[in-house]
Amino acid sequence: MNPRFHRISLTSSPPVARITFTNPPLNVIDLAMMDELAAAFEEINHRPEISIVFFAGSDRAFSAGVDVAAHAPDHIAEMLSKFHAVIKQIVTWNRISVAEVRGKCLGGGAELAMVCDFVVTAEDATWGFPEIKLGCFPPVAATALASLVGQKRAMDLILTGRTLDGREADSLRLVTSAAPSHQVGTTIEELISRLNALSPAALALTRKAIYAWDSMHFDKGLARAEKIYLEELMRTSDAHEGIRAFLEKRPSRWEGK
């Protein structure tokens, strides 16, 4: 294990690099983890023999999302910049990205998983974008979820903040496939075996062709969502109240402004 990493581990067996979230109990993505992910990506970028990047968490949680404390006014701009840099790296990479989802996959964790090229989820995993319950919204999902599941379903998931299991995530086309928990590992191994049999150059260029149009819109859309978040949402009383209420473990008292 790389001694620089404490909240993730990075291992490799070319052509595959595996990034595992190791920030118990729920693999919350805090600012330190974002820095470690950026460092891991930089290391992978210097290794041309790596063509597949595999993300995983624990049985309990892929990731329960971005650290709520990082949404505080003195951290929010830094948090969005660092987290969105992680997301944009995955979206624009010339590597194939694969996510294995077990347990909780919420908020920023669900956003990270959903932008991967392949997502295999356990049927009993818990997915959701609960930010609206904090008086906030998920910028990545607001930008890209509709292209995966359709506008009405995206509105349902983002505006209600409800959770869904892996079976429903599969039926909504949020993921590539769902499997019983004990079969997820085998499904991932079979997928990676199929990818390994193909040309890394052809995979990278084909991925680039597939995403050429969407990635241009994604970059502009995410920039707009981030601007709305910072310049409008974070000036509302409700956004600050929702975050305070969560940290203080009490019901929110919304003012509607």
**Which contiguous run of DSSP H or E holds residue 96?**
strand 96-101
From CA 66, how far away is CA 111, in angstroms rounded? 10
More reliable by pLDDT, 72 or 59 = 59
- How many residues belong to the chain? 257
pLDDT at 213 over 80: no
- Closest by Cα among 204, 91, 200, 191 to 148: 91
The first and second tokens of residue 198, run together, are: 């193909």
Given a cut of 60, whether residue 63 has pLDDT beyond it is: yes
- Predicted confidence at residue 3, as pLDDT, reads 63
Mean pLDDT calculated for residue range 156-173: 98
Q: What is the pLDDT of residue 73?
A: 82
What Rg value do the Cα atoms of the chain yield, rounded? 18
Is-contact 219 79, C-beta < 8 A? no
Q: Per-residue pLDDT tens for 107-120? A: 999 999 999 999 99
| CA-angle at 56, arms to 185 and 47, nearest 5° | 105
The residue that leads in pLDDT, 109 or 209, is: 109
Q: Are 246 and 134 in contact (CB under 8 A)?
A: yes
Kindly report the pTM of this predicted structure: 0.95
The stretch 185-199 carries a mean pLDDT of 96
Of residues 234, 247, 203, the one with CA closest to residue 75 = 234
Question: Is residue 29 helix, strand or coil?
Answer: strand
Predicted confidence at residue 211, as pLDDT, reads 81
Q: Is 107 left (phi over 0), alpha (psi -120 to 50) or beta?
A: left
In whole angstroms, give the CA distance from residue 23 to residue 239: 26
30: confidence class by pLDDT, cuts 50, 70, 90: very high
pLDDT, position 215 = 65
pLDDT digits (tens, 9 = 90+) for 68-100: 988 888 889 999 999 999 999 999 999 999 999
Average pLDDT of every residue of the chain = 95
- DSSP assignment of 97-156 equals EEEEE-BEEETHHHHHHHTSSEEEEETT-EEE-GGGGGT---HHHHHHHHHHH-HHHHHH
Cis? peptide before 130, omega within 30° of 0: no
Average the pLDDT over 21-34 and give the result. 97
